């Protein structure tokens, strides 16, 4: 190791070749571009001879993070060859003019004579390549994607008799895996930033997939160190609450006392700041920016109710952490403020996301909320972010069948629209009419599922089609179908409560713990009763509860 190289990238680099030519211009109809797919070493001559610039769109088969490498052969003209490159998470994005925020998604690259060049660091599946200088030749010696990703073994797993459900699980797993770069990002196209609120769903899913991963702590510390108190993380008061909630979850799962000790000073200061955000009536008075998720952004009652629950939840988590740190005075203050907050009643509403937080925090009755809110028009008003908390709240109400329906009918349609990763947002109303999926060229007169929908910060092509906060079903299926539920720190005690319902014949999988894998299989016998087989490390106590 060279002594001046101090930090090694945690990501690995892989080559990926295109699998399909989606579209090519008229001037290329007789050019064998498909040969580049079957033989990556094949050389193809493309000449810009007429009025129309030669152009084509390639499909790499799935969403990836990175860029592409292009080669130029030994042509007569040694002048570097300019090409226009456009990356897209959809075909319509690659054939359009993408947003340039957070990463460059289209621009010009120069290919050297008898050499190659690399371009791009973004999230994409499709690439449009266009020659822009007339009377030039591109002796293409190969095109491949350069994928940057953490090379991790999937320790957690899920497999069942429902292949569509299995595909949803894998898609969520791959979504959050792509977002685990040198930091844990929100999305790989945009914003490519550490948003602490997004990180909660991501952290839960990643813990079920890979167990401990240092990038999560690095990301938590990055935002902490860039948010001196009395600032609020990412400029959003609720996001500092999520930092506390994530820290408590992380400590419960892995019990890294040395790491938690490093949080002591900041945690104490933040909790003292949080205590000032409750008035004498027990009402939250968190400052701006007051944000839950985009789907609730215009409903002040839902925001207030949700923040009330989120703050209460954060105090519960803070109390647990401070007890471990022997910060007795703050433990007492957290307990008192929670009792005060219980007496306050936020305005009634039927916004699913906010009501879900009330259930999780322990401020609302799960069965009541499920009956009067979640079950009424169950697919309306959902978001891919807080959909995870709706799933959690439905599970707490015992409505696991409803949770499975939600996963199949809300996350599932994204797969039907060509998704290989889950999106920043999705609304089932987008499917009304003649809508074209992301992997097809959009004919005139039809709507694109990517370009023609969205609101807030995800309008049109700015919409991220790989967003870690959308991966919640992956963890939920392991928690409530496999039924793997840690109930003691470091996963030393795990309750297993399987659920197959009326739609599954079997489900099997595994979850990593600090002591090794817990693996299991649930299968219905001829009488419809579930038989469970499991293996666990000797340090992990398994409690097999009743099954359904």
Question: What would the pLDDT profile of 222-257 be if each residue is shown by its tens digit?
Answer: 999 999 999 999 999 999 999 999 999 999 999 999
Mean pLDDT, the chain, rounded, equals: 96
87, 98 contact by CB (below 8 A): yes
Whether residue 196 contacts residue 233, with contact meaning beta carbons closer than 8 Å, is answered with yes
Which CATH architecture does the domain made up of 157-481 adopt?
Alpha/alpha barrel (1.50)
216-226 average pLDDT score: 98
pLDDT over threshold 70, residue 30: yes
Give the separation between CA 446 and CA 290, rounded to whole angstroms: 38
Q: Measure the CA dihedral 238/239/245/248, to 10°.
A: -140
**Contact yes or no for 220/133 (Cβ under 8 A):** no
Using CA atoms, how far apart are residues 247 and 465, in angstroms rounded to an integer? 28
Over residues 150-165, the mean pLDDT reads 98
Distance set, CA 118 to CA 69, 102, 121, 132, 142 (Å):
4, 19, 10, 18, 12
Nearest-angstrom CA–CA distance, 211 and 254: 9
What is the pairing mode between strands 530-535 and 506-513? unpaired
| Euclidean distance between CA atoms 185 and 195, whole angstroms | 7
In this model, does residue 546 exceed pLDDT 70?
no
Which of 6-10, 215-219, 307-311, 370-374 shows the lowest per-residue confidence on average (mean pLDDT)?
A: 6-10
pLDDT of residue 482: 98
Q: What is the pLDDT of residues 439-493, one digit of tens each?
A: 999 999 899 999 999 988 889 999 999 999 999 999 999 999 999 999 999 999 9
Q: What is the pLDDT of residues 431-444, one digit of tens each?
A: 998 999 999 999 99
Q: Quote the DSSP letter at residue 439.
A: T
pLDDT above 80 for 284: yes
Return the structure tokens found at 354. 């906010």
User: DSSP for 278-298?
Assistant: B-TTS-B-PPSS--S-GGGTT
DSSP state of 80: P
Average pLDDT estimate for 329-341: 98
Q: What is the pLDDT at residue 547?
A: 52
Least confident of 123-132, 232-241, 295-304, 474-483: 295-304
The CATH fold assigned to 12-149 is Jelly Rolls (2.60.120)
Q: For the residues 180-190, what does the mean pLDDT come to?
A: 98
Do 333 and 275 contact (CB within 8 A), yes or no?
A: yes
Domain boundaries, the chain: 12-149, 157-481, 489-544
- Provide the strand spans (E) within 150-215: 157-160
CA-based R_g, the chain, Å: 25
Whole-number Å distance between alpha carbons of 459 and 214: 34
In this prediction, residue 489 carries a pLDDT of 97
425: pLDDT confidence band, cut at 50, 70 and 90?
A: very high
Cα 71 to Cα 41, 60, 78, 80, 499, distances in angstroms: 10, 17, 14, 11, 53
Token pair of 533, please? Answer: 């087989």
Mean pLDDT of 16-24: 96
Tell me how far apart the alpha carbons of residues 350 and 364 are, in angstroms, rounded to a whole number. 13
Dihedral angle sign, alpha carbons of residues 198, 200, 203, 207: negative
pLDDT band at 9 (very low <50, low <70, confident <90, very high): very high
pLDDT tens-digit readout, 37-72: 877 778 999 999 988 999 999 999 999 999 999 999
Residue 493 has φ and ψ, to the nearest 5°, of -135, 125
Q: Please tell me if the domain spanning 12-149 has the same topology as the one spanning 157-481.
A: no
Rounded to two decimals, the pTM is 0.96
Please tell me which of 183-187, 459-463, 543-547 the model is most confident about, judged by mean pLDDT: 183-187
């Amino acid at each position: 190791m060279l002594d001046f190289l101090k930090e090694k990238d945690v990501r690995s680099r892989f080559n990926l070749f295109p699998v399909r030519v989606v579209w090519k211009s008229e001037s290329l109809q007789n050019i064998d571009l498909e040969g580049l797919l079957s033989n990556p070493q094949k050389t193809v001559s493309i000449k810009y001879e007429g009025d129309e610039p030669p152009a084509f769109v390639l499909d790499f088969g799935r969403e990836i993070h990175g860029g592409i490498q292009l080669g130029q052969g030994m042509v007569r003209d040694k002048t570097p060859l300019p090409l226009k490159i456009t990356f897209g998470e959809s075909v319509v994005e690659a054939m359009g003019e993408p947003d340039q925020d957070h990463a460059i998604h289209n621009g010009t690259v120069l290919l050297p004579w008898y050499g190659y060049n690399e371009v791009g660091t973004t999230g994409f599946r499709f690439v449009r390549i266009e020659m822009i200088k007339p009377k030039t030749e591109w002796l293409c010696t190969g095109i491949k994607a350069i994928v940057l990703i953490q090379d991790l073994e999937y320790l957690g797993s899920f497999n069942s008799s429902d292949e569509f459900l299995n595909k949803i699980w894998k898609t969520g797993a791959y979504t959050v895996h792509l977002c685990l770069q040198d930091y844990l990002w929100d999305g790989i196209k945009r914003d490519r930033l550490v948003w602490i609120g997004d990180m909660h769903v991501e952290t839960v899913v990643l813990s079920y997939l890979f167990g401990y991963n240092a990038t999560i702590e690095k990301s938590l510390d990055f935002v902490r160190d860039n948010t001196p108190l009395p600032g609020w993380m990412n400029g959003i008061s609720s996001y500092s609450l999520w930092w506390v909630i994530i820290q408590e979850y992380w400590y419960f799962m892995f019990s890294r006392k040395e790491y938690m000790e490093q949080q002591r000073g900041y945690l104490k200061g933040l909790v003292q700041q949080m205590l000032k955000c409750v008035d004498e009536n027990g009402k939250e008075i968190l400052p701006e920016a007051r944000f839950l998720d985009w789907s609730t952004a215009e409903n002040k009652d839902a925001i207030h109710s949700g923040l009330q629950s989120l703050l209460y939840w954060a105090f519960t988590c803070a109390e647990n952490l401070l007890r471990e740190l022997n910060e007795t005075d703050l433990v007492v203050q957290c307990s008192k403020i929670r009792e005060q907050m219980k007496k306050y009643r936020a305005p009634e509403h039927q916004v699913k996301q906010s009501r879900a937080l009330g259930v999780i925090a322990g401020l609302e009755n799960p069965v009541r909320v499920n009956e009067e809110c979640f079950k009424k028009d169950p697919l309306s008003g959902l978001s891919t972010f807080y959909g995870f908390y709706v799933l959690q709240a439905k599970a707490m109400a015992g409505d696991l069948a409803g949770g499975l329906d939600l996963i199949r009918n809300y996350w599932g349609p994204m797969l039907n629209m060509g998704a290989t990763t889950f999106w920043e947002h999705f609304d089932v109303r987008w499917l009304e009419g003649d809508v074209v999926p992301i992997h097809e060229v959009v004919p005139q007169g039809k709507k694109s599922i990517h370009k023609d929908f969205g609101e807030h910060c995800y309008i049109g092509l700015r919409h991220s089609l790989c967003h870690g906060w959308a991966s919640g079903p992956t963890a939920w299926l392991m928690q409530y179908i496999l039924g793997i539920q840690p109930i003691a720190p470091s996963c030393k005690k795990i309750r297993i409560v399987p659920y197959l319902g009326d739609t599954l014949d079997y489900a099997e999988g595994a979850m990593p713990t600090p002591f090794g894998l817990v693996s299991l299989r649930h299968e219905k016998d001829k009488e419809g009763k579930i038989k469970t087989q499991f293996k666990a490390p000797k340090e992990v106590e398994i409690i097999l509860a009743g099954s359904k």
